Structures are given as structure tokens and as C-alpha cells.
Amino acid sequence: MTDELKVAVERKPNGAILYTKGYINNVGGEEIAARAYELMDGGVRSLLLNLRETKIVNSIGISILIEIIEKMMEKGGRLSFCCLTPVIQKTFQIMGLAQYAAIFPDEESAVRELTL
């Protein structure tokens, strides 16, 4: 019934891109967090979350993304996002996530800005 979240990782010279596919709920959020924390433990300090294939999120999933942002900020790094649907971007703004993470319209501009 659900779009169980899948996460793929692409390492870049100066960070990594996480590609999500499916619903970011509590389970999906935890899956993203697990992958992000592995990368952070490995020294990655710039992560880009590409949500091109995610069309639905919920507030619990977003709260987990905020936890990842906080952990990354504690380590002096940054988490950024790209390819959000307008409604997901609006939801990020409502929850304050957009104040703490950069949001890019597409992957190319994100990679360029973040020098990944």
C-alpha cells in the first residue's frame, strides 16, 4: 500500500548526495538518518538530499530530517535539499526547516553552489 522509502547514496569529492524514492514518514526518515549518520561518521560534512522521487512527506518524517540537520550543524557541516515539489517546500517552510538548510531547485545548481 505504501511507497516504502528507498535511499541511494552517491559519494562526491566534497560530500555526498542521498537520493530518496517514496514516502518520508517515520520509517523513511529513520532510513535517511541511518544513511546520513553513516556518512557523517565517515567524515562527510556536506550532504545533499535529492527528493526528486519523493512526492509525499509527513511531519514526523520532517522532524527526523530536522534532527539530521541539528547533528550536522553540531559537527560544523550542512545538509541541503534539492528537487522538492512545491507542496513539500511549503511544508518545510511551515516547520522552519527552510531556515536551517539551503534548498535548491535542481541538483546541478546545488552541486555547483555547495562545491560538492
Partner 1 sequence: MTTTAERQMDLTLPMVPDIEIAAARAAGNLARELGLSSEKIDEMTHAIIEACINAREHSGCADGRMYLRFRGSSGADGAPRIDVWITDHGRGFDLDQARSRRRHHEGVSHKRGWGLQIIEAHMDEVDISSSADGTTIHMVKYGEKAI
Residues 12-71 that bind partner 1 (CB under 8 A): 23, 25, 27, 55-60, 62-63, 66-67, 69-70
Determine if 1 is a binding residue for partner 1 (CB under 8 A). yes
- Rounded to the nearest whole angstrom, what is the least distance from the CB of residue 95 to partner 1 in the complex? 5
Instruction: Give 12 or 52: the residue with its C-beta nearer to partner 1.
Output: 52
Give the integer Cα–Cα distance in Å for 86 and 64.
Answer: 20
**By CB under 8 A, residue 107 contacts partner 1:** no
Query: Which C-beta is closer to partner 1: that of 12 or that of 78?
Result: 78
Q: How many CB atoms lie within 10 A of CB 56?
A: 15
Strands (E), 1-116: 6-12, 15-21, 46-53, 78-82, 103-104
Round to whole Å and give the CA distance between 44 and 68: 13
